A and B are shown apart, each in its own frame.
Chain A
Amino acid sequence: MGDLFVLAISCIFINNILLAQFLGNCPFLGTSKKMETAVGMAMAVIFVLVMAGMITWIVDLYLLKALNVEFLRTVSFILVIASLVQFVEMFLKKSIPGLYAGLGIFLPLITTNCAVMGVCLINIKEEYTFIQALVSSFAYAVGFGLALILFAGVRERVILARVPKALQDTSIGLITAGMIALVFTVFRGMV
């Protein structure tokens, strides 16, 4: 139990997926201009990443490793993620329209969010057990959400500041992200 807690902390803070591992940076910059979209994206990622983490782990063990076709990992994982996203979208639309209204527009974007694919691959590479993979998927997703929401909060302020013309928009966004990443390096010695 203690080990899982340490794993979760290190996935959320120390190896933060956005700021230390650099996965999922396109939506990080794309959806962080407004707090509202940032929260929506964060929720959608948590939802999909946990499911994708579980399913790809099972696929890897019982399909790829069992049949000795590990070289199809990239192809099969991306197909699993793409169809999962599609399926979640259809399911939410029919069954939980309220949630769909909130997450709907973010779901298609998640297929090309490398945070999802990246965490699935990390789970396999680090040889996690099913429970560890589940915890790491959830924790990485929470770390993603945390960084994204923090960043959106800062960015909403930056819009009000007087930024030199050449630095505007993405450029200042990246430098701000760098500062947040600097803050996150403080967590490094924790575990």
Chain B
Amino acid sequence: MAQSLVKEFTKGLWAEIPLFRLVLGLCPALAVTKTCENGIGMGMATTFVLLFSNILVSMLRNIIPSKVRIACYIVIIATFVTIVEFVMQAYTYELFLKLGIFIPLIVVNCVVLGRAEAFAGKNTVMLSAADGLGMGIGFTLALSSLGAVRELIGAGTLTVWGGTPLFTIGHGYIPFQFMVEAPGAFVGLGMMLCLMNLIGKK
């Protein structure tokens, strides 16, 4: 039991890391990763939704009629998304402003609905929780690393939390602004996928 729990948890961190392995959840990944902090915030919000929607879907899996299961999953997910919206507004307001429309859009993030349908609807509560947490943390890792790369190259800073840069490249560095703009998001993610492929080959 404990072993399979660990297995479900760790698969989201590397073997099936969303965004890099299963190319899902692209929209928030491209849109909010102008800074590392945004990536972490978005990742945490998604993790919260993933974890709780997975738990609830799994708890209700024998009650929900299969024909309306997608609609039920959507209601459950949307509820947690709205809770996250409220909580973020109340406690991490600045971050909420930066992430803007992408918080309500967690609802249509294929990673979340995908896990509900592919995993939580068929497995026990404990396993689903482990799966949700693992996938969420994996997604957070992916978003924050993409954010870190883009921010470092594009703005010459690294912001982890609280809006003030943790680290700034010296004054001689001229930021390659392309990376924090829209096209840089695509290219940055493309290069990171390439890197993952290279590592994966060994």
Direct contact of A and B (CB under 8 A): yes
Decide if B104 touches A73 in the complex (CB within 8 Å): yes
* Docked pose: A137 CA to B73 CA in angstroms: 26
> With A24-B27, A26-B27 known to touch, is A74 a contact of B182 (CB < 8 Å)?
no
Size range of the interface on B? 35 or more
Which of A3-11, A34-42, A98-106, A111-119 is the interface stretch? Answer: A111-119
Whether B194 pairs with A25 at a CB distance below 8 angstroms is no
**Distance of A172 Cα from B201 Cα, bound (Å):** 17
**Of A78, A79, A116, which is in contact with the most chain B CB atoms at under 10 Å from its CB?**
A78
- Cα distance, A149 to B32, chains bound together (Å): 25
| Complex CA–CA separation, A24 to B26 (angstroms) | 8
Judging by beta carbons under 8 Å apart, are B185 and A113 in contact? no
Q: Is the pair B110, A170 in contact by a Cβ cutoff of 8 Å? A: no
A-B contact number at CB 8 A: 127
* Residues of A with C-beta under 8 A to B190: 167, 170-175, 177-178
For the complex, give the distance between the alpha carbons of A95 and B72 in Å.
28
Candidates B31, B104, B183, B186; contact of A74 at CB < 8 Å: B104
List the B residue with the shortest CB-CB distance to A164.
B194
Q: Given A74-B85, A166-B198, are A20 and B182 neighbors across the interface (CB < 8 Å)?
A: yes
Nearest to A16 among chain B residues (CB) is B182
Q: Are B75 and A75 in contact (CB under 8 A)?
A: yes
Chain B: which residue is nearest A166 at the CB level?
B197
Q: State A20–B30 Cα separation when bound (angstroms).
A: 10
B90-105 at interface with A (beta carbon < 8 Å): 101, 104-105
A21 proximal to B (CB < 8 A): yes
- Total A residues in contact with B, Cβ cutoff 8 Å: 46
Contact A25 B27, beta carbon cutoff 8 Å:
yes
In terms of DSSP, what is the predominant structure of the interface of chain B?
helix
> Is the Cβ of B108 less than 8 Å from the Cβ of A114?
yes
Surface stretch bound by B, among A43-51, A60-68, A127-135, A179-187: A179-187
B62-82 CB mask vs A (1 if < 8 Å, else 0) is: 000000001100110011011
Contact A74 B187 (CB under 8 A): no
How far is A29 from B190 in the complex, measured between Cα atoms in Å?
12
> With an 8 A cutoff between CB atoms, is B60 at the interface?
no
Most buried by B among A72, A168, A170, A173: A170
- Nearest Cβ on chain B to A22's Cβ, whole angstroms: 4
Contacts of B85 in A (CB 8 A): 74
| B-to-A contact residues, CB < 8 Å | 23-28, 30-31, 70-71, 74-75, 78-79, 81-82, 85-86, 101, 104-105, 107-110, 113, 181-187, 189-191, 193-195, 197-198, 201
